Amino acid sequence: MKLICIGRNYTEHIKELNNEKPTNPVIFIKPDTAILLKKQPFFIPDFSNDVHHEVEVLVKINKVGKHIDKKFAHKYYSDISVGIDFTARDVQQQLKEKGLPWEKAKSFDGAAVIGNWLPKSDFKDVDNLNFSLKKNDVLVQNGETSHMLYKIDEIIEYVSKYFTLKIGDIIFTGTPAGVSKVDPNDKLVGFLEDKQLFSINVK
């Protein structure tokens, strides 16, 4: 399985990193080895001094698809969650400056936190959800899926032009503003609406 991630999907986050607003979704992929195993702490890798949390809404693909029209995209996922796209910002900055791919900054072991899944039918409208991240009990990121530049169904349409979506693939839909460095002993807790879906200790 693969993790398909969207970058630059929230205007306020684009501004905080001084990036340009994309004319198409920005896509990158993490391998399954990036998944942080359940109940494991996140270990800050020794090649970075500036790993950031990026809380994101996730959807899990439940059916094989290619060239999916956005009208039908809602049929390709039934579960939704939140997770973290951990990013070695210092490494990413160097790669960006050289126009190189981001994998070393974003796809290393443990760089993908996946929360507990909920049926999307628990919610009235996936394009109108609040999600958030608390670091050491302080709210640091607070997003609304209604603020996505590319909505979930548009993302599925776009990425499935390039990649066959397979059962179990997970889409990371981008982070809102409020990213910041994580330090040893931080505790990161993610929420979708009022439901706590993960809790991670940083080492």
Where does this chain bind Mg ion (CB under 5 A)? 54, 85, 175
DSSP symbol at 109:
T
Q: Which is nearer to Mg ion, 54 or 153 (by Cβ)?
A: 54
Query: What is the rounded CA–CA span in Å between residue 28 and residue 123?
Result: 28
What stretches of 18-161 adopt beta strand conformation (E)? Answer: 26-30, 51-53, 55-61, 77-85, 87-88, 112-114, 118-119, 130-135, 138-144
Q: Which is nearer to Mg ion, 32 or 69 (by Cβ)?
A: 32
CB of residue 122 vs Mg ion: minimum separation in angstroms? Answer: 24
CB of residue 104 vs Mg ion: minimum separation in angstroms? Answer: 15
Name the residue number minimizing CB distance to Mg ion.
85
- Strand order of the β-sheet with 195-201 is 138-144, 130-135, 187-192, 195-201
Q: Which is nearer to Mg ion, 3 or 73 (by Cβ)?
A: 3
Q: Which is nearer to Mg ion, 65 or 174 (by Cβ)?
A: 174
Q: Which is nearer to Mg ion, 85 or 169 (by Cβ)?
A: 85
Q: What's the distance, Cα to Cα, between the start and end of the chain in Å?
A: 27
Query: What is the rounded CA–CA span in Å between residue 162 and residue 112?
Result: 22
CB of residue 121 vs Mg ion: minimum separation in angstroms? Answer: 26
User: How would you class 37 by CB atoms within 10 Å of its CB: exposed for 0-12, middle for 13-18, buried for 19 or more?
Assistant: exposed
CB of residue 7 vs Mg ion: minimum separation in angstroms? Answer: 6
CB of residue 64 vs Mg ion: minimum separation in angstroms? Answer: 25
